[in-house]
Structure 1
Amino acid sequence: MSPSPRQMHLGAFLFGVGHHLAAWRHPDVDPAGAASLAHYQRLARLAEAAKFDAIFCADNVGLSDAPAHLLARNALPYMLEPLQLLTALAGATERIGLVATVSTSYLPPYHLARKFATLDRLSEGRSGWNLVTSGSDFEARNFGLDQQADHASRYQRAHEYVKVAQGLWDSWEDDAFRFDAQAGQFFDPAKLHRVSHEGPHYSVHGALQTPRPVQGYPVMVQAGSSEDGQNLAAETAELVFTAQQTVEEARAFYQGLKARLPAHGRTPDALKVLPGVSTFVGRSEAEAQDKYEALQSLIDPAQGLGLLSAFLGGVDLSGYPLDGPLPELPRTEGWQSRQDLFSAMARRDNLSLRQLYQKVISARGHWTLVGTPVQIADQLEHWFQTGAADGFNVMGPTLPHGLSDFIEGVLPELRRRGLFRTEYTGRTLREHLGLPRPAHPAVLARQAIQATEVEASPA
């Protein structure tokens, strides 16, 4: 029997009322939807009916310290906490994965482990944790710090944090709870494994009072593309979201990241790479371009410069001419992969500040496609078939319309080519992604002892 043809994995990246920074000003958008459960229920059900692998909610833990009169020009301050939101959406959906962003810098590992174990149980195995380390000083100041830790230190903490969280998820073996009323034994005491961890950043001694997640661990997701981020992903991630602008850059990132896996005893299939893509879909090229231009026309220059400033380390760009080049800027301890991406785009395409923010404002540096369903499917297929992606994180420029345009236009074309599923074949996020369920370390240890004993026994 020949193997099944490889198919794309698709995430629906839910971001307020749209990924374009001016989405909230579009006449088809209800700006208040970004804080409405009904809005997110509609989006989640749309994505699930289309058989997406997962929905994804990004997050940060602070309000930008930009002047209030500049903040007032965009909808970024208007968002919900993703873990609570996805817990609510677990009850409104049945099969689609639920991926939430949580920072390792500002939440103790015990809290994170318990929250995700609960989400995984309540959703019957659909949770995913997008690990970030946080990249701004305004976030640090919410937690009593003057500034964020340096980039390398944040990622060193993250490596240890993952080990602690996984140890806590392994507090109980899968069959630890016996519920034996007659014997008076609620659980098998031999199958409780307390964490005893002393490391440079964390001291954790205890166990979760929550059963092991349905999936063993939530699917481990990472979005950092810096050197530190790729090292962390190669060791711990199973799904990577990335921002790439050209197929050559995407292919280099994809192949370079997967080449790091063998050093950690992992195979290329153990990690899926999904670049972000924002699509403007029209029945004709002209219609698609009109949709794009309608949003671009709503860009406020101060809003565009504010976006660049945030991703370029907080440097004030207001004193530079809009139609002049991006100035030489120091590399900061913030979002280094995005700093590198924006700087490379400006140099490669000889972009002015105005042209740079116009290019990135639709999806904050992610790939933007404007065209018919066939044209967009052609581009996605090219990336997928030439070693640049395992699928895509779809970023509707406005929501819900940008997502429904993709579902109604592009998905039928991908299915016609055999590139995307027509039905779910599994129930958990791991099953959707073709990822194995991690066995409990104690079970693996017992199996290893048994195998050794069999080998040592006389024939």
Structure 2
Amino acid sequence: MAKRKRQLSLSVFVQLYGTHAHAWRQPEVAAGGPPSLAEWARIVQQLERGKFDFAFFADFVGNGGDEVGDGRRPRGGGFEPLTLTAALATLTQHIGLVATVNTNFNDPYNLARRFASLDHISGGRIGWNIVSSLADGATKSFGVADPLDHGGRYERAGEFVEVANKLWDSWEDDAFDHPNKETGVFYDPASGHPVRHHGKHFNVDTLLDVARPIQGRPVFFQAGNSDTGREFAAQHAEVIYAAAQTIEEAKSFYADVKGRLAKYGREPDDLKVTPGLFFHIGETRQEAQEKYESFRDAVDLSGRRQIMGVDVTNYPLDGPLPENLPIPANGRGRFQQMVALARRENLSIRELILRFSTVQGHRTLVGTAKDIADEIEAWFVGEAADGFNLKPSLHPGSLDDFIDGVVPELQRRGIFRTEYEGVTLRDHLGLRRPPNQNLIEPSARVAAAG
């Protein structure tokens, strides 16, 4: 089979109220009221019009009872991601749907059956963003008395994924496709492969009660930027959501993660690297700059201030980043990028919030549609990225700016599709469908399980 031409991946980190905590105050942003499926559907259908690979839904599960907040950040408009993607699957035809689910608060069997169900409901368009973070509010919400440390959570997540893979493979692809009414045999028992897993964190003796997913398993996503996170991605992930502000940083990350794959029997194309990308597009560069300034001006710095989860409210806003700040338990790699930027460019806390924290450490492009396409192409061709996970800025029209301006530029250059060519999310991303581990030679199972 001929190798598919390398193609740019485009996706969107879908958020209702813009990409920083105060964007909802802009006059063009509709905010408030009960959660609206219609609004989420409108955004995802807009992305499908632009032929995007997938819509990405984050989740920050769990709040402590003391986390009511000061009332200045928008809340209450979201949905639990698996529920949301199930509904959106019935309202879309092509676009992939990626749900974030935290391994700390789930069980492999329950989650495997939910994702298998979703893959069938969506026609093979589901992805799982594997998260093992553990915020203080989440431990209080779920009554976690003795939380695992950073390394322990990744270890448990790895075993969780191992068990889930076994569960999805507990039935062969066509196990239930040939019922025989004359003989009364609905399926061949030999097509079932019981899972008997007895590990450090999980003990399972069962078969999944849902047919093997259309894609074999959901597409695995991961966003770890620490060394442990990169290693986890090299072993398990098929798409990694990264952060880099310069092409040099991006190339270094790209080469590092791809270089780790071989030890797990994987090829470089088995993992797609998709950095986050903010953008402000105008008919002219001046118009784009004005949109960018509007984005920055909307950031409210008067209340409690945090940088990547670390409270800096009591430090001078125009003073330097303090020495010896505590390293957060979650997002360590991103935090270290931020500190390095602050020290390298001698940034004040104000500048650091606007330059880094407000955009979660991602690259921001400001310019015309051609300018944006030039930068995207340079990163793609230069092997700094396989695609981008877009973060629309303030207003509903920002996605239209990209779809109607940048996408045609990328299509003219032959690096982005003009129509969907496949059916599943794996088709969109050019990822292989994993074989059933029970039907391959033991020596080949390492690669198949990766």
Q: Does the TM-score normalized on the shorter chain lie above 0.5?
A: yes
Equivalent position to 1:432, from 422, 428, 432: 428
C-alpha separation between the residues in 1 aligned to 2:304 and 2:7? 36
Mark the CA change 1:2 to 1:30 in structure 2 (over 3 Å): closer, same or farther.
same
- For 1:348 and 1:34, the matched residues in 2 are separated by 44
Q: Is 1:411 aligned to residue 407 of structure 2? A: yes
* Secondary structure in structure 1 of the residue aligned to 2:104: coil
Matches within 5 A, 1:34-113: 35-63=35-63, 68-70=68-70, 72-76=71-75, 78-113=77-112
Alpha-carbon distance between aligned partners in 2 of 1:397 and 1:34, rounded to the nearest angstrom: 22
Q: 1:122-176: per-residue Cα shift (whole Å, max 9, x none)? A: 0110010000102311111111024742100000101101000001111110011
Match of 2:293 in 1: 293
Query: Partner of 1:179: helix, strand, or coil?
Result: coil
Post-superposition Cα deviations, 1:99-134, rounded to whole Å, max 9, x if no partner, equal 110011111111111111011000110010000102
Query: Do 1:138 and 1:147's aligned partners in 2 also have CA atoms closer than 8 Å?
Result: no
Distance in 1 of aligned mates of 2:115 and 2:180: 27
| 2: CA distance, partners of 1:447 / 1:360 | 45
**Superposition pairs for residues 1-400 of structure 1, below 5 Å?**
5-32=5-32, 35-63=35-63, 68-70=68-70, 72-76=71-75, 78-146=77-145, 148-177=147-176, 178-302=178-302, 305-306=305-306, 308=307, 311-312=308-309, 315-328=310-323, 329-398=325-394, 400=396
Give the unaligned 5+ runs of structure 1: 449-459
Q: Is the 8 A contact 1:198 1:204 kept in 2?
A: yes
Change (3 A) 1:356 1:146: farther
Check the 8 A contact 1:21/1:361 in 2, yes or no: no
SS in 1 for 2:139: helix
Kindly indicate whether the alpha-carbon contact (under 8 Å) linking 1:141 and 1:147 is maintained by their aligned counterparts in 2: no
Provide TM-score, normalisation by structure 2. Answer: 0.94
- Sequence identity, in percent? 47
In structure 2, the CA distance between the partners of 1:33 and 1:360, relative to structure 1 (3 Å rule), is farther
Question: Which letter does structure 1 place at the counterpart of 2:311?
Answer: D
Secondary structure in 1 matching 2:186: strand
Q: What is the aligned partner in structure 2 of residue 420 from structure 1?
A: 416
Cα RMSD after superposing both structures: 2.1
Task: Give the Å deviation of 1:304.
Answer: 7.2
Aligned residue type for 1:155: Y
SS of 2:60 mapped into structure 1: coil
Structure 2 residue runs of 5 or longer lacking an equivalent are 445-450
Letter in 1 for 2:316: P
Q: Which amino acid in 2 is paired with 1:14?
A: V
Q: What is the TM-score with the length of structure 1 in the denominator?
A: 0.92
2:120 and 2:218 map into 1 onto residues whose CA distance is: 10
Indicate conservation of the 8 Å contact 1:304/1:357, yes or no: no
In structure 2, the CA distance between the partners of 1:200 and 1:399, relative to structure 1 (3 Å rule), is farther
Is 1:117–1:210's contact at 8 Å kept on the other side of the alignment? yes
Aligned partners of 2:64 and 2:141 also within 8 Å? no
- Give the residue type in structure 2 aligned to 1:434: G
